A and B are shown apart, each in its own frame.
Chain A
């Protein structure tokens, strides 16, 4: 049913349930917000989106007011301007004006508002509580000194991720967004997904900066720096240089990494193709030999942290395959090192990731090599910063190719970065493993898109494989509870293979990606990866000639002893609170 209303006299027609804020955007009127985020339920803590109805003195919050037939909304007049300006000034009085040294300088929503409203002086006395920075995770840094208490991080952690590491602790002036019992974030159930970071409007949450580690290795003449980059990085990093979300900059990235001084440039997409060979074979093995089903994907470190804490009883369902990043790191220090005649101790393995949890993952005791399969992880944002600092004109950079023999990838590898992509890639190869034939149509439409839980059945030569794809950790709960119940009561679980990604939309919207992600941006970045897939001549992991070669020359076959040594891992139960 549609509803008709006017916004500042402009007629708009909207669906029932639309908020005044969304209706205004439709009418081309932008109401300022600070706590509102389209990913979250309206919360109404900042009060910036105030508006009123014609003939009424009552002030409404546009984010939390549903449209009604015949409404005549006023969003901008002198009174509303004054209210908003006061809110901005009051918020600024509780926030340090250290913009120049802030990680979010130029990408801060409060700063933007101060610019928009022309705030030239602070009329209110500064009143900021000294609070300690929490960098206990070594991955995500929380600086409560800069927190404006909008509550987005708490909402993200609870609504989107279902993790409940954070809540509003204390009251009034003493309120902080913190873990329970004054614990450091690292002792809390935090899964390090970093969604709090990308949703924070200011600089109160950010990634631990590891740029220095990479540059130190680059400047060390004894080190051979080998770098890999994840699929999702190539469709997002351009945004940091004024390009559109979804523009594919694979070739530019290779060039930029070489210009920074990396010795070998590889691609995590190769690792993704390798993952499919291992994980796909594991799935087929489980199906054929009555193994534990459903099999869960294991590439997302946020998800791994979550299942270890919240569903340890389902760990036997988790694929033992390491993530593409860890596989790529392991073969860099083994297969590649041996081929190139480099001592693996001299290799410094760098990974560029759209993800903060990847920084956590490399500390897991799952590396094939002492010191780690991957030595350092930089997020997309960190790489963009260093590219700028080195004066590299990214947008106009010439393209180049990745290095052999572990840089070549198929379309299946590149779609790993989007929700449904791992499933689709696995189906393309599993079909071949089961039937010995190739799928005519490689696209699996039923697992694409932003719907939170996607289910489908794939026919593999007479064998029906029931699959499900879920993204946004909180959305997995229902599915996991269903599986837990079925297992407990000895019923057949109605799924064979389940892909889980902690972030809404998948890695393209990960916690390490450029700030400013919403569903529109998610769709554009996803389309970028699907375009990259379509452009590939080879779109099935098992067709990758470099993959065929690594098996014939080195790993023998999927799930071989050597493959297990290098490419598989075990995961174990973790307590929710670790102190």
Chain B
């Protein structure tokens, strides 16, 4: 069963790094790269393979914002809450997403299509407030535009 959880490549990667100091972050990165997030099952598997207690892994995973604990949707929505976007109403976009499709930060829409993440600066403050969906950037987003943007992906 354990062999099924990860791809051959990931298995090989873990075997290479097992027993080496500082391996946990490396392995977790790779797991997230392959699976999109760190599931409880994946974390337990890593715990067994590296001999690191699950609580320690959970401590690391919840410390770094980079790691996601929830399965991302088909399209991951990132709403920027960096300084510029925040001032320009980034939080209003999040509120609108909640109203429109019941999404909360860190959550997944019922149909599994969208997940929502709040991020700090995506590097185009001139377009504030910014949201990205599946890598596509939308700038100067207003509340009223949210539904239309979502419809493009539905």
A positions within 8 Å CB-CB of B: 158, 164-171, 179-181, 188-189, 576-577
Contacts and interface: CB of A to CB of B under 8 A. Distances in A.
A168 B59 contact: yes
Interface string B44-75: 10000000011111110011010000000000
A498 to B, nearest CB: 23
A181 B63 contact: no
- Most chain B CB within 10 A, of A164, A166, A170, A181, is at A181
Nearest to B40: A181
A171 B54 contact: no
Interface in B54-109: 54-59, 62-63, 65
Contacts of A158: 53
Interface of B: 40, 43-44, 53-59, 62-63, 65
Given A181-B54, A188-B55, 19 more contacts: A164-B53, A164-B56, A165-B55, A167-B55, A167-B56, A167-B58, A168-B59, A169-B55, A169-B58, A170-B62, A170-B63, A171-B62, A171-B63, A180-B54, A180-B55, A180-B57, A180-B58, A189-B53, A577-B44
A166 B63 contact: no
Cβ-closest 3 pairs across A and B: A164-B53, A180-B58, A167-B59
A302 B53 CA distance: 19
Contacts of A180: 43, 54-55, 57-58
Which applies to chain A's interface (DSSP): helix, strand, loop or mixed?
A: loop
A67 B6 CA distance: 50
A189 B47 CA distance: 14
Contacts of B53: 158, 164, 167, 189
Contacts, number: 38
A99 B40 CA distance: 38
A158 B58 CA distance: 14
A165 B57 CA distance: 12
- Most chain A CB within 10 A, of B44, B53, B56, is at B53
Contacts of A166: 55
A576 B59 CA distance: 17
Contacts of A577: 44, 54
Contacts of A168: 59, 63
A179 B59 CA distance: 9
A271 B56 CA distance: 40
Contact of A179 (B43, B55, B63): B55
Contacts of B63: 168, 170-171
19 contacts: A164-B55, A165-B55, A166-B55, A167-B56, A167-B58, A167-B59, A169-B55, A169-B58, A170-B63, A171-B62, A171-B63, A179-B55, A180-B54, A180-B55, A181-B54, A189-B53, A576-B54, A577-B44, A577-B54
A166 B59 CA distance: 9
A579 to B, nearest CB: 10
A532 B9 CA distance: 64
Contacts of A169: 55, 58-59, 62
Nearest to B39: A181
Contacts of B59: 167-169
A577 B65 CA distance: 25
Nearest to A180: B58
Contacts of A164: 53-56
Nearest to A176: B62
A180 B61 CA distance: 10
Contacts of B62: 169-171
A173 to B, nearest CB: 13
Nearest to B44: A577
Contacts of A189: 53
A166 B54 CA distance: 10
Nearest to B59: A167
A180 B47 CA distance: 12
Contacts of A171: 62-63, 65
Contacts of B44: 577
A168 B53 CA distance: 13
A171 B59 CA distance: 9
B79 to A, nearest CB: 19
Contacts of A188: 55
B33 to A, nearest CB: 21
A166 to B, nearest CB: 6
A374 B30 CA distance: 51
